[in-house]
Amino acid sequence: MLKRILTLTAFLNLVLIPFVSAEKPNLLIILADDMGYGDLSCYGSKQIPTPNLDALAENGVRCTDGYVSASVCAPSRAGLLTGRYQNRFGFEHNLSPHDHVKPERLGIDIRQPLISNKLKELGYQTGIIGKWHLGDNIPEMHPNQRGFDYFFGMLGGGHDYWPTPQKNKLLLNGEKITKIRTPYLTDWFTLEANDFIDRNSKADKPWFLYLSYNTPHAPMQAKEEDLAKFSHINDKTRRIYCAMQHNMDNNIGTIVAKLKELGQLENTLIVFLSDNGGSVEVSHAINAPCRGGKGSNLEGGLRVPMIWHWPSKLPKETTYSQPVISLDILPTFIAASGAEAPKTQAFGQSIKNKKEAAMATDGVNLLPYLQGENKAAPHESLFWRMTLRAKSVRSGDWKLLVRAHGDPELYNLKEDPSELNNLHGKNPEMAAKLREQLIKWEGSLESNPLWISNNTWFKYNEKLYTRKFMLTQPEKDDPRDFWGFNALEENIK
């Protein structure tokens, strides 16, 4: 009898478990780095054709009002991977050494689970390829200790695109890379991503991959064959940026091709976004029609392209215009896996028990909204704060911005997406209502910032609000200067 039971168990393991695994969707985050809101052709670019990302948008859901939780890299990524406002656990600024902060605190609190931890518990093979930038001072902060089975990339915030065996910061899990697989880093990350997908798909295991490109973050470096396609652009930095964008789009196309080859595309949930708005000064990104850029709480710093693609579950040729945020990815992915999405933390609620707080989320499961089943807005309000830089709240069409170097600003984003007409003096009731929401949200945060940006950033931060910005898309070969701090073209406000 026991033998018959064991035989039946073996049969179920061989037959039913692969069947169950196949039912779980694969989950893929593709994250660009410092990419402009207006620098995909499906978001209006006339200079950068991005046919592969356009195809994902055409066959999925394109969000017009997608946001991240911070306007700079590290805190934005901390919010994305935890599904919580990173302000709740003190990760409010980019990482930098401070004498008053213990090195082991410079990163995401090791008690805070990440999306990788949660999906690993649900039976997923988990991987990160590319940029980490979430702390590395103690072994417990390493990606392999944060729920990722596989890690290839760099722990810091940037990397040369032409690594050499002698000069690189790349790791394969815990081992330093000493052999270059392919010369250009974006290509290499994609090869590793395709290998991860191929390996786990053939093993019939559901997988979660966080493909964290550093494209098009500085240093501005591109392949000659990509640069040749943009020789008509006079500005050198902009030309390199366009070439880097083109290269990333081509690489994403090979990932989609791999999924098709393996028969996995229909049951793979893909979300593409940038970690923050484009860096106008450094990389000559264009965030049009949004004013502002990386580092500011203007729309150009916080609003990013966001594309959701899951052919078997999400509609095609759909534009979604309600505000959504990167914090929504974690609960959406968990719900997509078949598990119950974590409970959204109530507005104004502060969870003092650290274990309970770590399990909460500020995001929501977007599937009912993207599928058209729920017509309401996913969020009543969204919030942002970088202490001593700026804080802001968006509720419906209205946004209140309070920055360190200026008077409060109130905008109606539906009527004024470029934030040119400050209505603070004309609508004091709405300004007071949003300020009350912002104060209530700040009062609910469980932690103060654990570190602050270097003071040298404050003067630079003022320029991010007072300089001129390109608010319309330039033509393919427009020769004008849109990026200098003193640019004065008529169509730059």
Nearest to 280 by CA among 340, 224, 237: 237
Q: For the chain, percent helix, then strand, then coil, each to nearest 5?
A: 35, 15, 50
CA distance 253 to 242: 17
Tell me the H-state helices in 278-427: 280-283, 299-302, 329-336, 354-359, 367-370
Q: Give me the sign of the Cα torsion angle 168, 173, 178, 181.
A: negative
CA distance 396 to 128: 34
CA dihedral of 285, 291, 296, 298, whole degrees rounded to 10? -140
Nearest to 308 by CA among 32, 17, 10, 59: 59
Q: Which tokens go with 392?
A: 């802001």
End-to-end CA distance of the chain, in Å?
81
Compute CA 358 distance to the chain's CA centroid, rounded to the nearest angstrom: 20
131 burial level (CB within 10 Å; 0-12, 13-18, 19+): buried
Tell me the H-state helices in 376-480: 428-444, 456-466
Quick check: is 133 catalytic? yes
Size (the chain), residues: 493
Quick check: is 73 catalytic? yes
Instruction: Spell out the residues 6+ positions from residue 405 whose beta carbon is closer than 8 angstroms to its own.
Output: 458, 461, 462, 465
Q: Give me the sign of the Cα torsion angle 40, 42, 45, 50.
A: positive
117 burial level (CB within 10 Å; 0-12, 13-18, 19+): middle
Q: Determine which one of 73, 93, 309, 379 is catalytic.
A: 73
Compute CA 396 distance to the chain's CA centroid, rounded to the nearest angstrom: 22
Residue type, 331: P
Q: Determine which one of 42, 63, 93, 133 is catalytic.
A: 133
Compute CA 272 distance to the chain's CA centroid, rounded to the nearest angstrom: 8
Catalytic residues, by residue number, are 73, 133
